[in-house]
């Protein structure tokens, strides 16, 4: 099931996205893609930077894409590059701050309170 960008995430979507991030390797892929910026990376570059290649990287990208956290560009049957879906990542972050940290973080606009 592919998740689409929306204005509010449901608990089911949030749980699926956290499940997708629940692997050290997928989290590493996500960190590399977020740091790479909007254009993303070619698959070879992504593999080199996160230390995961081949079918393992393809498997992890498929899970992250199904959760809506990653965009992939395909050329024929091959995936040529991937990028973080910043809109969905922001929604997930906002959800976490709004629904899980409401009592402990009065400033949910991006800072910690001392």
Looking up residue 89, the CATH number of its domain turns out to be: 1.10.10.10
Is position 1 within any domain? Answer: no
pLDDT tens per residue, range 56-82:
999 999 999 999 999 998 878 777 889
Structural domain containing residue 40: 11-99
pLDDT tens per residue, range 23-44:
999 999 999 999 999 989 999 9
55 conformational bin, left if phi > 0, alpha if psi -120 to 50, beta if neither: alpha
The domain total for the chain is 1
| Dist CA 16 CA 19 (whole Å) | 5
Return all residues near 95 (Cβ < 8 A) that are at least 6 apart.
Answer: 9, 14
Is position 93 within any domain? Answer: yes
Is position 38 within any domain? Answer: yes
Is position 53 within any domain? Answer: yes
Q: Check residue 59 and give its pLDDT.
A: 96
Q: Check residue 96 and give its pLDDT.
A: 86
pLDDT band at 7 (very low <50, low <70, confident <90, very high): low
Q: How many CB atoms lie within 10 A of CB 32?
A: 21
pLDDT surpasses 60 at 106: no
pLDDT surpasses 70 at 95: yes
Residue 4 and residue 65 in contact, taking contact as beta carbons nearer than 8 Å: no
Q: Check residue 41 and give its pLDDT.
A: 94
Q: Check residue 114 and give its pLDDT.
A: 42
| Dist CA 13 CA 28 (whole Å) | 21
Is position 3 within any domain? Answer: no
pLDDT band at 5 (very low <50, low <70, confident <90, very high): very low
Is position 15 within any domain? Answer: yes
């Amino acid at each position: 099931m592919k998740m689409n960008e929306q204005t509010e995430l449901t608990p089911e979507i949030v749980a699926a996205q956290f499940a997708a991030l629940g692997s050290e390797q997928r989290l590493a892929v996500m960190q590399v893609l977020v740091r790479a910026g909007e254009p993303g990376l070619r698959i070879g570059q992504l593999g080199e930077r996160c230390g995961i290649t081949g079918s393992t990287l393809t498997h992890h990208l498929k899970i992250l894409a199904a959760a809506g956290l990653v965009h992939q560009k395909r050329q024929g049957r091959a995936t040529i590059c991937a990028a973080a879906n910043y809109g969905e990542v922001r929604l997930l972050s906002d959800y976490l701050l709004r629904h899980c940290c409401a009592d402990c973080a009065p400033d949910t606009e991006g800072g910690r309170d001392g």
